[in-house]
Structures are given as C-alpha cells and as structure tokens.
Structure 1
C-alpha cells in the first residue's frame, strides 16, 4: 500500500521529467542535424570558391550581367581596364601577413565613364598617405585581374567600430559610404580585389589580399550536439538503472 502511494504521488514528477528529457533530446538532435546540413552547404560553397579561383578571368561585362540577373558572383575572376583616380582612394583598416595597415580602395574610371572601386592591395600603417608610396600611384590606362566582391555593406558585429569618414578610415566594407565619401557617382555596385598577378612599382600596394579561408567548424558543432544527446541518454539510463536497484523500489536489492 505504501509503495502504491509513493508511485502515485511521483507520477506527475516522472511525467514532467520525461517531457523535459524528450524535449531536450529533440532539441539536441535538431541542432546536430542542422549543423550537418550546414556542413554540406559549407563544403559545397568552398568547392565552388575553389573552382572560381582556378577559372580563367572573364570580362567585367560578363560578371555585371550575372550580377544583374541575381547570380552569385562572389570570388569570380574578372579582368578589366581603366584609369585610377588616386586622389580619391579610400583606406580600409586591415591586417595582412602579421602587419597592421590598410587595404587601398581606388576608384577606376572605365571607358564608358562609370567608376568601380578596386582593392589594389595592402600597405603598412605608416604608408597610409599616398606620398609615402608615390611610385605605386600608377598613371594611364591599367589592365588588371582580380576577384569580384559583391558583398557591399557587411558590418561583422556590434564590436566593430563605425567607419570614420572624416579620417578616411573604414572598418567594414560599405560601398555607398566609400563612394559618397570620395565624391563618386555612377559607381558599379561591386568591388574588385586585385590578385597577386598585379604588381605595383615600389611594391605597394601589395595585391593578392583576398581571404579565402572561410571557417568550417560545422562537423565539430554537429559532433558536440549529438554527443550531448548521447550523454543525456546515458544520464537518463543511469538514473533509471539506479532507481531499479534502489531498496525503496519493490524489487530493489534483488528482493
């Protein structure tokens, strides 16, 4: 009679515990499965980027056409030519090969009068001013190859400072702000990163600064979530087994 009373009183608690365990297990499995899906997506993206990097450069007009059609043109190799306007270069705060400095975004005037911002490459912090690297301020028509970058306004997180327009220092890429700050109009809605094949007199800016090493930790995350699910099941089984062996149960202690 005592055993029946204890079991009856414990039933709501047991049901609530079971609901919480099932809900937690379902959540962990959903998170693990989501990370597996993200893993396949990221691997596909990395393979696509690798294919684009090894492809031959295509004319700018072809990339523009794809962009206008809503296609993803990020990291597509592109070739173009035009004249740089070094008086309106913008400075993007960056680190490269362990050094702090800036990526130099310089407007290039195309033959049809439009402008496009070219990331010509990296210069050390002390070479921010063009006068410190005058040899690299190339004149006349220049032909370059590089990578299309269509992500135009991406502030990575709240901790990244706001762009300092007064000092011409950008902490995150914002094409509209760069173009407006430089007094540009009729700007093509993408950047181009000059590749390592583009060399400048004096060595600066140094091209080939595009970062391709996208983090891919989804397998680790999936293993973590699935591992927690297994651990939860192990804890529940251990508690159940312990309760079965408890002397307070009708069959406890082998009685």
Structure 2
C-alpha cells in the first residue's frame, strides 16, 4: 500500500471512533446539565419544605401519589398515640456515633397507622427502660421520609432474627402486623434531652453535576481539536 493509502486508512481508523467518542462525551455533558437542573430544583424544594410549617401527614387517599422527588423531607405532623411494646431497632451511624434508630408504630386519630422514628439511642443504651414510650394522645412533628427497602450496604434485613439495617416500612409493618400502615415514616423532631434523641436527620445533597458537565465538555473539545489536527496532518506533510 502506498504511503498516501496508508495515511487515509490510518485517518479512518482514528477519525470514525474519535467522532463517535466526541458525540458520546457531548451527550454525557448535556445529561449532566439536565441533572444539575434537577438537583438544583430538588435542593430548593427541600430547603423550602424544611423552613415551612408542618402540614398534616398524608392519609391513605394520598399514599399512591407520594414520590420521593416531590414529597420527601416535607415537615408533617400527626396526632394519635404510640402503640406500646412494639419498638423496632434499626442499626444507625450518626454524628453521635453508632447505635440504633427507634422505630415505633403510631396510631392516628383517623385509625390508620405509620411508623415514627422517635430518634437515636447509643448501642449501649438500647434497653427498653432507656427509651421510655410516651403515653396518651399527642401530636408528633417531623420529616416525611420514604421507605428504605431491602437493607443496608451488603447487609439485608432479617425480620425473623430481629436484625434491621434499613427503615423498610413495608417489612417492619408486616412484622408488627400493623394492618393499614403508611408507606413512609416520620422522622420525629427533637423533643427534650432524653432518649431517644430526635432531630438527627442530616439533610444534605451532593451537587457536583456542574463539574462533571464541564469535564465531559472539556474531553469532547480536546478530542475534537486532536481529530482536526490528525485530519490536517497529511496536508501539511504534502
């Protein structure tokens, strides 16, 4: 094959996949821009919800329409009573160290039930006497949190063995035989200094989509410049 033919073959081998990669990098950059817009709107919604007054906890008629993107981290309140003798401890790691979330069933005045995360107890304070249950009717306020099915990282919930690694409302509700129970749970706000200690939910969203988008666009631009130089190289050689 002549040198000119070899050069054309080489350019095809480089330019065709190179152009495909440029298109892929541009697509990934556009996707990250779209993700940036979604994440920015999500953060704005959550921050507005955290600053708002609590609204009534969604009842059974509202459950099918609940979505994490639009409903999680809203401040809600509910009135009713805790059901005694049915706490479930879910392993947790918090700013206070390792321990457990205390998940307690709550019966509303309307008759349906939901799980309330009453707060955190350290690993050495998990006994029933360390997490006394308030009696009588009361109003509980906090954050609406969607169910966390399955378990934690590399660890699955074991309802039969009483080992819980995530706040799976469906599985916990079935284990406790709660009947008509909400598909979400309420993260209770802090009330006093005793245990369980509420209000430890950390609401933070990582937002690196802009840097990701710039990275993909930079890769696309750099590769495009390189392909142009490869395409023009034979002309300079002649």
Q: Sort the TM-score into its range (normalised by shorter chain).
A: 0.7 to 0.9
Following superposition, the deviation at residue 155 of structure 1 comes to 4.5
**Is it true that 1:142 corresponds to 2:138 in the alignment?**
yes
Match of 1:170 in 2: 164
Contact map agreement 2:11 2:231 (CA 8 A) in 1 = no
Task: Give the equivalent residue in structure 1 for 2:102.
Answer: 104
Q: What corresponds to 2:185 in structure 1?
A: 191
Of 17, 31, 43 in structure 1, the residue corresponding to residue 14 of structure 2 is 17
Q: CA deviation at 1:239?
A: 4.6
User: Counterparts in 2 of 1:206-221, with a 5 A limit?
Assistant: 206-221=197-212
From 159, 169, 181, the equivalent of 2:175 is 181
Length, aligned pairs only: 236
- Runs of 4+ in structure 1 off by over 6 angstroms are none
Larger Rg: 1
Q: CA deviation at 1:69?
A: 4.2
> Among 33, 40, 45, which residue is 2:37 paired with?
40
What's the RMSD between the two structures over aligned residues?
Answer: 2.5
Structure 2: where are the runs of 5+ without partners?
A: none
Relative distance call for 1:98 and 1:223 in structure 2 (3 A) is farther
Instruction: Tell me the equivalent position of 2:221.
Output: 230
Give CA-to-partner distance per residue, 1:116-166, whole Å, 9 cap, x none: 1001111111122223x15x32111221111112x2244587x43001223
Cα distance in 2, alignment partners of residues 155 and 232 from structure 1: 43
After TM superposition, the structure 1 = structure 2 runs for residues 123-142 of structure 1, keeping only pairs within 5 Å, are 123-131=121-129, 133-134=130-131, 136-142=132-138
Alignment partners' CA distance in 2, 1:218 and 1:104 = 35
Q: Offset of 1:230 from its aligned partner?
A: 2.6
Q: TM-score, normalised by structure 1?
A: 0.82
Any conservation in 1 of the 2:19–2:224 contact (CA below 8 Å)? no
Whole-Å separation in 2 of the counterparts to 1:39 and 1:64: 33
CA contact (8 A) 1:106 1:118 kept: yes
Task: State the structure with bigger RCO (CA 8 A, min sep 6), 1 or 2.
Answer: 2
Tell me what 1:92 maps to.
Answer: 90
The CA deviation at 1:183 is 2.7
CA shift at 1:93, angstroms? 1.2
What TM-score results when the alignment is normalised by the length of structure 2?
Answer: 0.87
For residues 112 and 233 of structure 1, the distance between their equivalents in structure 2, rounded to whole angstroms, comes to: 64
Alignment equivalent of 1:77, drawn from 72, 75, 78: 75
Instruction: Mark the CA change 1:19 to 1:98 in structure 2 (over 3 Å): closer, same or farther.
Output: farther
Cα distance in structure 1, aligned partners of 2:150 and 2:40: 24
Q: Any gaps of 5 or more consecutive residues in structure 1?
A: 251-255
Question: Which whole-Å CA distance do the structure 1 matches of 2:100 and 2:49 have between them?
Answer: 26
